[in-house]
Protein backbone atom coordinates (compact mmCIF):
# COMPACT_ATOMS: atom_id res chain seq x y z
CA UNK A 1 0.00 0.00 0.00
CA UNK A 2 1.40 3.40 -0.98
CA UNK A 3 0.27 6.67 0.55
CA UNK A 4 1.43 10.26 0.47
CA UNK A 5 1.96 12.18 3.69
CA UNK A 6 -1.30 14.00 2.95
CA UNK A 7 -3.18 10.73 3.20
CA UNK A 8 -2.42 8.97 6.49
CA UNK A 9 -4.49 5.75 6.48
CA UNK A 10 -6.99 5.65 9.35
CA UNK A 11 -5.84 2.10 10.09
CA UNK A 12 -2.30 3.37 10.64
CA UNK A 13 -3.43 6.18 12.92
CA UNK A 14 -5.41 3.64 14.93
CA UNK A 15 -2.46 1.24 15.06
CA UNK A 16 -0.29 4.04 16.46
CA UNK A 17 -2.88 4.94 19.09
CA UNK A 18 -3.13 1.31 20.19
CA UNK A 19 0.58 0.46 20.04
CA UNK A 20 2.28 -0.52 23.28
CA UNK A 21 5.85 -1.08 22.09
CA UNK A 22 7.04 1.13 19.23
CA UNK A 23 10.40 1.07 17.45
CA UNK A 24 11.64 3.98 15.35
CA UNK A 25 14.52 2.93 13.10
CA UNK A 26 16.23 5.80 11.28
CA UNK A 27 18.83 6.22 8.57
CA UNK A 28 20.75 8.94 6.79
CA UNK A 29 17.68 10.47 5.15
CA UNK A 30 16.46 11.88 8.47
CA UNK A 31 19.74 13.70 9.10
CA UNK A 32 19.96 14.82 5.47
CA UNK A 33 16.80 16.85 6.08
CA UNK A 34 18.80 18.84 8.65
CA UNK A 35 21.42 19.62 6.01
CA UNK A 36 23.88 16.89 6.95
CA UNK A 37 25.33 15.32 3.84
CA UNK A 38 24.90 11.59 3.61
CA UNK A 39 28.07 9.54 3.67
CA UNK A 40 28.12 9.28 -0.13
CA UNK A 41 27.16 12.91 -0.68
CA UNK A 42 29.96 14.03 1.62
CA UNK A 43 32.49 12.51 -0.75
CA UNK A 44 31.70 15.12 -3.39
CA UNK A 45 33.36 18.51 -3.73
CA UNK A 46 36.87 18.78 -2.31
CA UNK A 47 36.60 15.29 -0.83
CA UNK A 48 35.77 13.76 -4.21
CA UNK A 49 39.33 12.53 -4.78
CA UNK A 50 38.77 10.02 -1.99
CA UNK A 51 36.35 7.13 -1.77
CA UNK A 52 34.64 5.67 1.27
CA UNK A 53 36.98 2.70 1.42
CA UNK A 54 39.92 5.12 1.57
CA UNK A 55 38.52 6.99 4.57
CA UNK A 56 36.36 4.63 6.61
CA UNK A 57 38.36 1.50 7.38
CA UNK A 58 40.79 0.55 10.15
CA UNK A 59 43.40 0.05 7.44
CA UNK A 60 42.90 3.61 6.17
CA UNK A 61 43.37 5.00 9.67
CA UNK A 62 46.50 2.93 10.22
CA UNK A 63 47.95 4.08 6.90
CA UNK A 64 47.09 7.78 7.16
CA UNK A 65 45.48 8.77 10.47
CA UNK A 66 45.80 12.50 9.75
CA UNK A 67 43.62 12.46 6.63
CA UNK A 68 41.03 10.16 8.22
CA UNK A 69 40.86 12.26 11.39
CA UNK A 70 40.58 15.42 9.26
CA UNK A 71 37.69 13.88 7.33
CA UNK A 72 35.78 13.01 10.48
CA UNK A 73 36.47 16.41 12.07
CA UNK A 74 34.99 17.95 8.90
CA UNK A 75 31.90 15.76 9.31
CA UNK A 76 31.64 16.52 13.05
CA UNK A 77 31.81 20.26 12.37
CA UNK A 78 28.95 19.87 9.90
CA UNK A 79 26.87 18.04 12.52
CA UNK A 80 27.59 20.63 15.22
CA UNK A 81 26.21 23.37 12.97
CA UNK A 82 23.05 21.41 12.15
CA UNK A 83 19.83 21.41 14.16
CA UNK A 84 17.20 18.72 14.71
CA UNK A 85 14.35 18.93 12.24
CA UNK A 86 10.62 18.32 12.63
CA UNK A 87 11.07 14.58 12.19
CA UNK A 88 13.56 14.38 15.07
CA UNK A 89 11.19 16.41 17.24
CA UNK A 90 8.15 14.30 16.32
CA UNK A 91 10.05 11.10 17.12
CA UNK A 92 11.04 12.52 20.51
CA UNK A 93 7.43 13.57 21.10
CA UNK A 94 6.25 10.00 20.51
CA UNK A 95 7.80 9.04 23.84
CA UNK A 96 5.06 11.07 25.59
CA UNK A 97 2.29 9.13 23.88
CA UNK A 98 3.28 5.46 23.72
CA UNK A 99 4.05 3.21 26.68
CA UNK A 100 7.42 2.08 25.31
CA UNK A 101 9.52 3.67 22.57
CA UNK A 102 12.90 2.49 21.27
CA UNK A 103 14.82 4.79 18.91
CA UNK A 104 17.43 2.93 16.88
CA UNK A 105 19.59 4.82 14.42
CA UNK A 106 22.23 4.18 11.81
CA UNK A 107 23.23 7.85 12.06
CA UNK A 108 26.38 8.90 13.87
CA UNK A 109 25.18 12.39 14.85
CA UNK A 110 23.37 13.36 18.05
CA UNK A 111 20.31 15.02 16.51
CA UNK A 112 17.87 12.56 18.08
CA UNK A 113 19.28 13.32 21.52
CA UNK A 114 19.28 17.07 20.88
CA UNK A 115 15.61 16.82 19.87
CA UNK A 116 14.79 15.23 23.22
CA UNK A 117 14.87 11.46 22.63
CA UNK A 118 16.31 10.18 25.92
CA UNK A 119 17.60 6.72 25.02
CA UNK A 120 18.96 6.25 21.51
CA UNK A 121 20.66 3.08 20.29
CA UNK A 122 23.48 3.93 17.87
CA UNK A 123 24.17 0.96 15.61
CA UNK A 124 27.03 2.66 13.78
CA UNK A 125 28.61 4.50 16.70
CA UNK A 126 28.85 8.25 17.17
CA UNK A 127 30.98 11.12 15.92
CA UNK A 128 30.89 12.43 19.48
CA UNK A 129 32.38 9.39 21.24
CA UNK A 130 36.04 9.04 20.18
CA UNK A 131 38.08 6.22 21.62
CA UNK A 132 41.64 4.99 21.61
CA UNK A 133 42.65 3.06 18.51
CA UNK A 134 44.76 0.70 20.65
CA UNK A 135 43.24 0.26 24.12
CA UNK A 136 39.68 1.39 23.20
CA UNK A 137 39.36 3.63 26.27
CA UNK A 138 36.76 6.40 25.81
CA UNK A 139 38.21 9.81 25.09
CA UNK A 140 36.91 13.37 25.08
CA UNK A 141 37.52 16.10 22.54
CA UNK A 142 39.91 18.71 23.91
CA UNK A 143 37.91 21.42 22.15
CA UNK A 144 34.86 21.42 19.97
CA UNK A 145 35.24 22.37 16.33
CA UNK A 146 33.96 25.96 16.12
CA UNK A 147 34.42 26.25 12.37
CA UNK A 148 34.31 23.70 9.61
CA UNK A 149 37.85 22.55 8.76
CA UNK A 150 38.78 22.94 5.12
CA UNK A 151 37.69 19.90 3.14
CA UNK A 152 40.69 17.70 2.46
CA UNK A 153 42.66 19.12 5.39
CA UNK A 154 44.94 16.79 7.31
CA UNK A 155 44.52 16.96 11.11
CA UNK A 156 46.67 14.94 13.50
CA UNK A 157 44.49 12.94 15.90
CA UNK A 158 45.06 13.53 19.63
CA UNK A 159 46.91 11.01 21.76
CA UNK A 160 45.07 8.67 24.09
CA UNK A 161 45.22 9.89 27.68
CA UNK A 162 45.74 6.30 28.86
CA UNK A 163 48.31 4.81 26.49
CA UNK A 164 49.36 7.54 24.07
CA UNK A 165 48.12 5.84 20.89
CA UNK A 166 46.18 7.88 18.31
CA UNK A 167 42.53 8.51 19.13
CA UNK A 168 40.10 7.29 16.47
CA UNK A 169 36.53 8.32 15.62
CA UNK A 170 33.89 6.42 17.56
CA UNK A 171 32.11 5.16 14.47
CA UNK A 172 31.76 1.71 12.95
CA UNK A 173 34.01 1.39 9.91
CA UNK A 174 33.70 -0.95 6.95
CA UNK A 175 34.79 -4.39 8.01
CA UNK A 176 33.99 -3.82 11.70
CA UNK A 177 31.20 -5.45 13.67
CA UNK A 178 28.32 -3.47 15.11
CA UNK A 179 28.63 -2.73 18.85
CA UNK A 180 27.42 -5.91 20.53
CA UNK A 181 25.29 -4.25 23.20
CA UNK A 182 23.64 -1.87 20.73
CA UNK A 183 22.88 -4.69 18.30
CA UNK A 184 21.44 -6.90 21.03
CA UNK A 185 19.26 -4.03 22.26
CA UNK A 186 18.05 -3.41 18.71
CA UNK A 187 17.27 -7.07 18.12
CA UNK A 188 15.30 -7.30 21.35
CA UNK A 189 13.31 -4.17 20.54
CA UNK A 190 12.52 -5.21 16.96
CA UNK A 191 11.50 -8.72 17.89
CA UNK A 192 9.25 -7.53 20.72
CA UNK A 193 7.53 -4.51 19.18
CA UNK A 194 4.04 -4.24 17.79
CA UNK A 195 4.77 -1.25 15.52
CA UNK A 196 8.03 -0.35 13.74
CA UNK A 197 8.80 2.76 11.70
CA UNK A 198 11.63 2.55 9.17
CA UNK A 199 12.47 6.16 8.36
CA UNK A 200 14.94 7.60 5.87
CA UNK A 201 16.90 4.42 5.30
CA UNK A 202 17.53 2.57 2.06
CA UNK A 203 17.05 -0.82 3.74
CA UNK A 204 20.22 -1.95 1.97
CA UNK A 205 22.84 -1.88 4.74
CA UNK A 206 23.04 -5.15 6.63
CA UNK A 207 22.77 -6.33 9.29
CA UNK A 208 20.78 -3.23 10.30
CA UNK A 209 18.30 -3.75 7.46
CA UNK A 210 17.23 -6.99 9.11
CA UNK A 211 15.38 -5.11 11.86
CA UNK A 212 12.13 -4.34 9.97
CA UNK A 213 12.01 -7.91 8.71
CA UNK A 214 12.45 -9.27 12.23
CA UNK A 215 9.58 -7.05 13.35
CA UNK A 216 7.44 -8.38 10.51
CA UNK A 217 8.27 -11.95 11.49
CA UNK A 218 7.14 -11.16 15.02
CA UNK A 219 3.77 -9.92 13.83
CA UNK A 220 4.42 -6.18 14.09
CA UNK A 221 2.98 -3.54 11.78
CA UNK A 222 5.83 -2.06 9.74
CA UNK A 223 5.63 1.47 8.35
CA UNK A 224 8.18 2.90 5.94
CA UNK A 225 8.71 6.65 5.58
CA UNK A 226 10.95 7.50 2.64
CA UNK A 227 10.87 9.73 -0.44
CA UNK A 228 11.90 6.88 -2.75
CA UNK A 229 11.20 3.19 -3.11
CA UNK A 230 13.37 0.69 -1.24
CA UNK A 231 13.55 -3.11 -1.04
CA UNK A 232 11.26 -2.92 2.01
CA UNK A 233 8.32 -1.55 -0.03
CA UNK A 234 6.87 -4.94 -0.89
CA UNK A 235 6.84 -6.07 2.75
CA UNK A 236 5.86 -2.94 4.66
CA UNK A 237 2.21 -2.56 5.63
CA UNK A 238 2.34 1.17 4.86
CA UNK A 239 4.72 3.12 2.61
CA UNK A 240 4.48 6.85 3.26
CA UNK A 241 6.23 8.78 0.51
CA UNK A 242 7.77 12.11 1.42
CA UNK A 243 10.23 13.85 3.68
CA UNK A 244 10.20 12.58 7.25
CA UNK A 245 10.01 16.16 8.54
CA UNK A 246 6.65 16.46 6.76
CA UNK A 247 5.31 12.96 7.30
CA UNK A 248 6.03 12.37 10.99
CA UNK A 249 4.27 15.47 12.43
CA UNK A 250 1.31 14.73 10.15
CA UNK A 251 1.21 11.14 11.35
CA UNK A 252 1.28 12.13 15.01
CA UNK A 253 -1.49 14.65 14.42
CA UNK A 254 -3.61 12.04 12.66
CA UNK A 255 -3.32 9.83 15.74
CA UNK A 256 -4.37 12.71 17.98
CA UNK A 257 -0.85 13.14 19.35
CA UNK A 258 -0.56 16.90 19.03
CA UNK A 259 2.24 18.72 20.79
CA UNK A 260 -0.19 19.86 23.47
CA UNK A 261 -2.11 16.62 23.82
Q: Which residues are annotated as a binding site?
A: 72, 75, 106-109, 132, 135, 160, 163, 200-202, 226-228, 244
* CA triple 44-124-52, angle to 5 deg: 30
Strand 221-226 relative to strand 238-241, pairing: parallel
In angstroms, rounded to a whole number, what is the distance separating the alpha carbons of residues 41 and 180?
A: 28
- For residue 31, which of 239, 233, 243, 212 has the smallest C-alpha distance? 243
The terminus-to-terminus CA distance of the chain in angstroms comes to 29
SS3 216: helix
Catalytic residue among 122, 124, 128, 238: 124
Residue 214 has φ and ψ, to the nearest 5°, of -65, -40
Q: What is the rounded distance in angstroms from the CA atom of residue 31 to the CA atom of residue 126?
A: 13
Report the binding-site residues for NAD(+).
106-109, 200-202, 226-228, 244
| Residues linked to residue 199 through DSSP beta bridges, in sequence order | 26, 225
Residue 137, helix vs strand vs coil: coil
d(CA 80, CA 75): 9
Pairing mode of beta strands 167-171, 125-132: antiparallel
Q: Is 124 a catalytic residue?
A: yes
Catalytic residues: 124
Amino acid sequence: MKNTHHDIPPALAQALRQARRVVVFTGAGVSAESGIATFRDALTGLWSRFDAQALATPEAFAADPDIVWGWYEWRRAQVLRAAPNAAHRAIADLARHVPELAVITQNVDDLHERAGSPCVTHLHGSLHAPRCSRCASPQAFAVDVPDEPEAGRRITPPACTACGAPVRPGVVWFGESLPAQAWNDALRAAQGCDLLFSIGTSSLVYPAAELPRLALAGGATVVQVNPAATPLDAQAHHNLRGAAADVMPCLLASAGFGEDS
